[in-house]
Amino acid sequence: MKIGIVFGGRSEEHPVSVKSAREVAKHLDTGKYEPYYVGITRNGAWRLCDGPDGEWEDGGRPVVLSPDRDARGLLVLDDGRYRTIDLDVVLPVLHGKQGEDGAVQGLLELSGIPYAGCDVQSSALCMDKSLTYLVARSAGVATPEFRTLTAGEHVDPDRLTYPVFVKPARSGSSFGVGKVTRAEDLATAVDAARRYDSKVLIEEAVVGSEIGCAILGNDGELVAGEVDRIALSHGFFRIHQESEPENGSENSVAIVPADIPAESRALVRETAKTVYRALGCRGLARVDMFLTEDGTVVLNEVNTLPGLTSYSRYPRMMAAAGLSLGDVIDRVVSLAVPGAVR
């Protein structure tokens, strides 16, 4: 199969995407796939390159994904002329804005090329935490109490009960997230969040363990990886912003399988599946939740293209359930193009 692997992108999660693509390259079975690596630079230029290693942003050839179904695939500029490279499927290894929010998925829908992962609608819903919460609530899943601030909107800090978390509504990897314990610090936290999104979420701080569940599949047939628990020494989970996450986190340890009771583990898995189905997810996603002392599961967020780096939670949870990253790639491609992978 000719598989296009798109990585990089213009979001703040560009470096994480490149690391994820490197892991995909290591685990991709070249006996099954002929990969074409398309790196998107921080400035938005598309480059056909040999892979996500090295100085790919400074090299490679200009390339675009054709939205024309009569020229289905990549259009590569060679010697002043474009030639077409047909693709059987695309694996978007992109995180954050313009990659995980439905933008690239919409381009792929126009192109007619099958692609792995969530579609336009579910990608957009999951990217916006406030919309995620509304849909999850309608499915009977508990969420934090929250309010949103649009551009230019303000809130009286004395009307809130602290602590609260302030977040960009449509961002990932904890960029722009702040915990506020005093009314006088709220404005600074809102300004920090607005660096990443004009829409800001203010939500109650849920007291409980941070729990995650990796989901793989479409519709009714879903596979759940082992549940994990994030053990924090201080602060909150933000490993993708640390200087050397490959060597361990500064304040967190992911425990897989989670050291929680069996009945809680089962409830976490079923809640994750409920959220996944309610939001229309397909292919793969990681559902992050809280487990409170009374055993209640509360949704935190959904990542429709979770990190696939060497230190990321999704591949670790799937590995603990017996699926390597190579297995995961095969399965998400098979879900996009049924019967294509043997």
pLDDT, tens only, 77-122: 888 888 999 999 999 999 988 899 999 999 999 999 999 999 999 9
CATH number for the domain harbouring residue 151: 3.30.1490.20
Rounded CA gap, 99 and 117, in Å?
A: 11
18-27: average pLDDT: 96
342 located within any domain: no
Residue of 9, 18, 19, 212 with catalytic role: 19
Whether 134 shows a pLDDT value over 90: the answer reads: yes
- Asked if residue 257 has a cis previous peptide bond (ω within 30° of 0), the answer is yes
341 located within any domain: no
What pLDDT, in 10s, does the model give residues 144-179?
Answer: 999 999 988 989 999 999 999 999 998 876 788 999
165 located within any domain: yes
**78 and 130 assigned to the same domain:** no
Structural domain span for residue 31: 2-115
CATH number for the domain harbouring residue 307: 3.30.470.20
Rounded CA gap, 114 and 284, in Å?
A: 15
**179 and 296 assigned to the same domain:** no
Residue of 190, 311, 331, 333 with catalytic role: 311
> Is 133 annotated as catalytic?
no
> Is 26 annotated as catalytic?
no
- Three-state SS letters, 79-128: CCEEEEEECCEEEEECCCCCCCCCHHHHHHHHHCCCECCCCHHHHHHHHC
The pTM (predicted TM-score) of the whole model is 0.91
**172 and 231 assigned to the same domain:** no
**319 and 251 assigned to the same domain:** yes
In 3D space, the residue among 232, 117, 231, 241 whose CA is nearest the CA of residue 174 turns out to be 241
Query: What is the torsion angle, in degrees rounded to the nearest 10, for the CA atoms of residue 199, residue 205, residue 211 and residue 217?
Result: -30
Structural domain count, the chain: 3
37 located within any domain: yes
What order of strands is seen across the sheet that includes strand 46-49?
A: 81-86, 73-78, 61-65, 46-49, 34-40, 2-8, 89-93
> Is 27 annotated as catalytic?
no
CATH number for the domain harbouring residue 69: 3.40.50.20
Q: Please give the full DSSP string across 252-279, using - where no structure is assigned.
A: EEEESS-SS-HHHHHHHHHHHHHHHHHT
> Is 246 annotated as catalytic?
yes
Of 165, 188, 204, which residue constitutes the final position of a domain? 204
> Is 240 annotated as catalytic?
yes
> Is 16 annotated as catalytic?
yes
